[in-house]
Amino acid sequence: MMRTNWLKRGAAVFCVALSMGALTLNAAESNATTNARFERLPPELVEAFRGIPMQDGGRVKPFDTVARFKLLRIHGKRTIRLGEGRRGEKVSASEWMIQSMLYPERVQDLPLFVVDNDEVVVAIGVEAHAKKRSRFSYNEIVAARAKLYELSQEYRAIDAKLRAPDQNGIVNLSQNISDFEFLMHTLDFARNTFALSPETLPGVVDVETDVSVADFLKALPKVRVSLFKQNPSGNHEDSPAIQEVTEIVTRLTFYANAGAALFTAPPEDPEQTEWLSPGALIDASMHAEAMSPQAYEHLKALEALVAAGDDETALITAATTLRTLVRGQADARGELKHLDLETKFYDGNYFFQSLLWYMIAFLVVAFSWMGKTNKDASRRARLVSLGLKLAPLAIATISLIVGITLRCIIRGRPPVTNLYETVLFITVVVVLVALLVEWIVKDRIALAMAPVLGAMGMFLANKYEMKEAVDTMPSLVAVLDTNFWLSTHVTCVTIGYAAGLLAGALGHVYVLGKLLGIKKRDPEVYESISRMTYGVVCFGLLFAYVGTMLGGVWANYSWGRFWGWDPKENGALMIVLWMLVILHARMGGYIREFGLAICSIVCAAIVAFSWWGVNLLGVGLHSYGFTSGIAQTLITYWSIEAVVILVGFAWYLKHKSD
């Protein structure tokens, strides 16, 4: 049956207007129910939701993962604390997201939206809090939404690299408010019904009744037939039936535009890859000849959640039904694999555990250095002492390796597909190489450095994840969608990065040790550091060179040229050339131990430029690695390195004749 004119007209007239204005109206309506007491949800309900598959960012992932990163972006943390201080009860990201969808009135007074600069809220007319960085509730900001969106639209026209901090804050806050509002209103369709009467729609209903959105869409073919029978000439003037249906279409169009926060419906066509939101299901059903059984079943499952109200048993049953429905459809498409493993991975918190144990390992090693070495101690006592030093370091490294391995299994990819993963991979390589060096040299220097470098790497990974606040396991850009080259080129290059950073760290130990006069009567210590540095540079050169050559082969395969002087390519070449300079200068006698240390520090600075710095340029075929806000950190790091090098040279010139 052909689509009727009233459906086209209704969609055309109301689509744009409602998508822009209806959220404001509904926000005002829901605002009237604020100050509702926050009530905890039953754990069984939260657990049922956590494992519901949904698509986000082009990847099918658990509901829990989506909630974690959505809350991290909005709130700056993965949990919300109720009440003041650290004694407040914690609410998980999944529970917060469920509450936001089912009971939005309960979350509108929570201190949810993190604002790093109080100038952001002052600019939109909201009273600032005592602290410069604070969190605001939705109800504190909702009255200033118009001003917020006005400024956001103005600042979005400015390139992100050129915006001032407060301008970025306005843009981010407006996006967070918008995302939260879509989350609150995504199930609005399930909170409303349509009144149908047999007088206006004969043949559709026998008695006057209220029907849900899903039931109306299912009955839509009968509605069209009834309208056609009443108006065969197409004259819609003064027709109560047309007026009634047009009003319904208006509301359906709003629901189709508002219900876009959850993509929980797998497409029926196995060739299609994009999952559908409730709004997309409504829109597709409005324009289809007949509503598909799968769409009807999905919308009814969502309506059952809302209809359950505060009935815990009905809520758990409805959530379990939805979970079973979606998981069955996802499994039929082959998209359920490793979904539960991802939930367990995030529950394990392996990388935070690794950071914690690296810090403990450092403290243990530091205390061991403060004590005196008892050379007369028994072999058993020495083994116990070594075990106490290695145990926390081993736990930290194993936790890191397990976390990286689980990510590889979940994604089916090597561990170096994005900048975040390179931080994890480089950290574990640095620690393992340091332990290898310690096993060869056995002078406790590399053993002491391993937990320090491990903690620094995990701290950087945590800061990066918190700052970006996006899923760290996203879909790959097309050029990276190859496991072979990721396993060879990128892995070799990042191992080269790790070696360059470790050599730089050893160089710091040498220079700072000389500056502070540590072990100045024991030249063998510094000779040992130099040997370790030289060996690490050789190790790094091998992988940096092989990785760079493999990158050229990949570039020729993907882009039709081996080398194009791309900023990232230049950065990799700089590492190889500088490591060659170090080795040739050392072998030729142009530099000695101190010069080797200084050159290694420079090598670490070059690695930082190649790893992070070139991404700031935002140009070239490797510009997909751009990270905003890192420039100041890099400049600070390079400034510190410059000071170390200059002070080191000053010390060297002063003691050159000694």
pLDDT in tens, 125-169: 999 998 889 999 999 999 999 999 999 999 999 987 788 889 999
Q: Is residue 28 part of a domain?
A: no
What average pLDDT values come out for the chain (658 residues) when binned by 10 residues? 37 36 41 61 96 94 96 94 74 96 94 93 93 93 95 92 88 96 95 90 88 94 85 67 87 91 93 94 93 96 96 96 97 94 96 96 81 59 74 96 96 89 95 93 86 95 89 77 81 95 95 87 87 95 95 86 87 95 94 94 95 75 61 89 93 78
Query: What is the domain range of residue 290?
Result: 190-332
Do residues 166 and 208 both lie within one domain? Answer: no
Cα 426 to Cα 415: distance, rounded to the nearest angstrom: 10
Do residues 367 and 401 both lie within one domain? Answer: yes
Choose the final residue of a domain: 301, 317, 332: 332
Do residues 199 and 55 both lie within one domain? Answer: no
Q: Which three-class secondary structure string do you get for 522-546?
A: CHHHHHHHHHHHHHHHHHHHHHHHH
196 forms beta bridges with: 209
Cα 526 to Cα 510: distance, rounded to the nearest angstrom: 6
Q: Is residue 269 part of a domain?
A: yes
Do residues 480 and 622 both lie within one domain? Answer: yes
Do residues 197 and 49 both lie within one domain? Answer: no
Q: Is residue 548 part of a domain?
A: yes
Q: Is residue 23 part of a domain?
A: no
Do residues 446 and 496 both lie within one domain? Answer: yes
Choose the final residue of a domain: 184, 214, 235: 184
Do residues 384 and 488 both lie within one domain? Answer: yes
The number of folded domains in the chain is 3
pLDDT tens column, 365-399: 888 776 555 555 666 766 777 777 789 999 999 99
Do residues 128 and 143 both lie within one domain? Answer: yes
Do residues 314 and 392 both lie within one domain? Answer: no
Q: What pLDDT does 24 receive?
A: 42
Do residues 247 and 382 both lie within one domain? Answer: no
Q: Is residue 463 part of a domain?
A: yes
Using alpha carbons, list the distances in angstroms from residue 473 to 56, 342, 380, 624.
Answer: 11, 10, 46, 15
Q: What pLDDT does 460 receive?
A: 93
Residue with tokens 């004259």, as numbered in its chain: 235
pLDDT tens column, 487-509: 888 999 999 999 999 999 999 99
Do residues 563 and 417 both lie within one domain? Answer: yes
Q: Is residue 20 part of a domain?
A: no
Q: What pLDDT does 391 receive?
A: 92
Q: Is residue 138 part of a domain?
A: yes
Q: What pLDDT does 321 receive?
A: 97
Do residues 321 and 361 both lie within one domain? Answer: no
Chain centre to alpha carbon of residue 425:
17
Residue 55, SS3? strand
In this structure, what token pair is assigned to residue 209? 């009744």
Q: What is the full DSSP assignment across 231-272?
A: -TT---TT-HHHHHHHHHHHHHHHHHHH--S---B--SSTT-
pTM to 2 decimal places: 0.86
317 forms beta bridges with: none
**Could you tell me which of 126, 27, 59 has the C-alpha nearest to residue 418?**
59
Cα 486 to Cα 191: distance, rounded to the nearest angstrom: 48
Cα 318 to Cα 301: distance, rounded to the nearest angstrom: 7
Q: What pLDDT does 382 receive?
A: 66
Choose the final residue of a domain: 288, 317, 332: 332
Q: Is residue 277 part of a domain?
A: yes
In this structure, what token pair is assigned to residue 355? 């950071």
In this structure, what token pair is assigned to residue 53? 């598959």
